Amino acid sequence: MSLTKKMRSLSRTLRRKITKGERKYTPDPKTPITNWLVDRKRHCNGGRTVDAGLWLKKHCDNGGKIFLSLAGAASTFQQGIDISEMIKKGKIAAVSATGANLEESAYRLLANSHYAYIRDYNELTREEEKELDDVGFRRITDTFLPEDESVRKLLSKFIRLMREAMKTGKYLLWHEYFFELFERGWVKFDGDPEQCWLYQAWKHKVAVFVPGVEDSTMGNIAAYFTYSGDHKFLSKYKQKKPIDSKVILHSFSYMHRLAEWYMDNTKKKGLAYLQYGGGIAGDFAICVVPHLKKDYCANLPLNVQEKLVRSWAGFIEIHSSPMTFGSYSGAGFKEKITWSKFNVTAFGCQICGDYTEHGPDICAIVLGK
């Protein structure tokens, strides 16, 4: 039986899911990298990467923008190079990042030349890992974060801003403290600011949201400086004059800001959701849609909720987590439809892999390279 006859024997629904031959694409002499990617990455994760990039490019070319979430150690792994260019070209509307990714973007700017790498990190012994710890090498997969040249250099300035906020009553969201460092010129560049996504977000006024800020090195330190308890052990080592923890606005404030921002920035067109990894950076931001529909508009009919709050236009996630035991990182796109995050017609694509492999390819296509 020929392919055509086999196709005709299938249900119309299943038939629509099948593509005969190769992807429809006309090479453009102005985009040699994209041409190469489309030609070579035809199947499996490579093919999904190209599909994602082409859809995002079309979305942006039609006036849409991207909401980006960063999990893992994307900033340490220098994904900020591509992300910065995406910001400068007006492709990214907002970023949701873990506290670690936020600070690590700043650390790359402070101490880029002090970073080191170890190729065979999987072959380290436990004793060698402890040896690294003893001398202050903080390993993140294959990369060593230079704590003395980054965290410790930033610390005094950061604490100074927090104590100042306690005096003035001008409390800030977590990322706004980092932006204030840029505003005052307190950050000396060792790396290239053109490749620092946090700096470019500040410069181009891109919205930033940081859930779970205490889960980061600077967040840990801030938690110590704000500790005022009377625990038998901890109270002996707390600051003589602890900083009021209120100087860092609560995560509820981030959700309030995000809800307002989302409604203001989706009036004309939906936002594409591009997610590097999973975890809180992704889930916090993406759930603003059901939050608006089911909390603010809870007493309204379903069709009115859908009309008042625009769903995300599409979803692309690069992750390496299996869909097991309720893991958010591994939750499929279709599962998110059940949470009112997406309509059934939205573009959905999950790439099972490392975002240091697939992220740059997607960015290259979106940027028309």
Q: Express each pLDDT in 199-255 by its tens digit.
A: 999 999 999 999 989 989 999 999 999 999 999 999 999 999 999 999 999 889 999
Identify the CA nearest to 179 among candidates 236, 242, 109: 109
C-alpha–C-alpha distance, residues 242 and 173, integer Å: 19
Per-residue pLDDT of the chain in tens (369 residues, 90 and over written 9): 788 899 999 999 999 888 888 888 999 999 999 999 999 999 999 999 999 999 999 999 999 999 999 998 999 999 999 999 999 999 999 999 999 999 999 999 999 999 999 999 999 999 999 999 999 899 999 999 999 999 999 999 999 999 999 999 999 999 999 999 999 999 999 999 999 999 999 999 999 999 989 989 999 999 999 999 999 999 999 999 999 999 999 889 999 999 999 999 999 999 999 999 988 999 999 999 999 999 999 999 999 999 999 999 999 999 877 666 666 666 778 888 898 999 999 999 999 999 999 999 999 999 999
CB 353 within 8 A of CB 45: yes
* Cα 67 to chain centroid, rounded: 8
Q: What letter does residue 351 receive in the DSSP assignment?
A: E
Residue pair 56/316 in contact by the 8 Å Cβ criterion = yes
pTM, whole model, 2 decimals?
0.94
Give residue-wise pLDDT tens across range 68-107. 999 989 999 999 999 999 999 999 999 999 999 999 999 9
Residue 226 lies in a domain: yes
Residue 100 lies in a domain: yes
Query: In this structure, is residue 342 part of a structural domain?
Result: yes
Give me 303's structure tokens: 């069709």
- Asked, for residue 19, whether it belongs to a domain, the answer is no
Supply the pLDDT for residue 332: 75
Range of the domain at 349: 27-119+149-366
Query: Which pLDDT does position 63 carry in this prediction?
Result: 97
Using CA atoms, how far residue 105 sits from 110, 177, 275, 316, in Å, is 9, 14, 17, 22
Spatial separation of the C-alpha atoms in residues 208 and 256, rounded to whole Å: 13
Q: Which two tokens stand for residue 245?
A: 């923890």
Amino acid (1-letter code) at residue 326: G
The tokens describing 211, both together, are 């859930």
Rg (Cα) of the chain, in Å, rounded? 23
Q: Are 359 and 92 in contact (CB under 8 A)?
A: no
Could you tell me the CATH number of the domain that includes residue 73? Answer: 3.40.910.10
Domain annotation covers residue 139: no
Beta bridge partners of 146: 137
CA distance readout (Å), 221 to 149, 152, 244, 333, 344 = 16, 10, 14, 36, 44
Q: Is residue 347 part of a domain?
A: yes
For residue 292, give Cα distances in angstroms to 137, 225, 295, 308: 44, 35, 6, 9
At how many degrees (to 10) do helices 32-40 and 44-61 cross? 140
Under 8 Å between Cβ of 126 and 201 = no
Residue 181 CB neighbours (<10 A): 19
Containing H/E element for 352?
strand 342-352
Secondary structure of residue 186 in the 3-state scheme: coil
Cβ neighbours around 236 below 10 Å, total: 7
Determine the pLDDT at residue 331: 74
Indicate the number of domains in the chain. 1
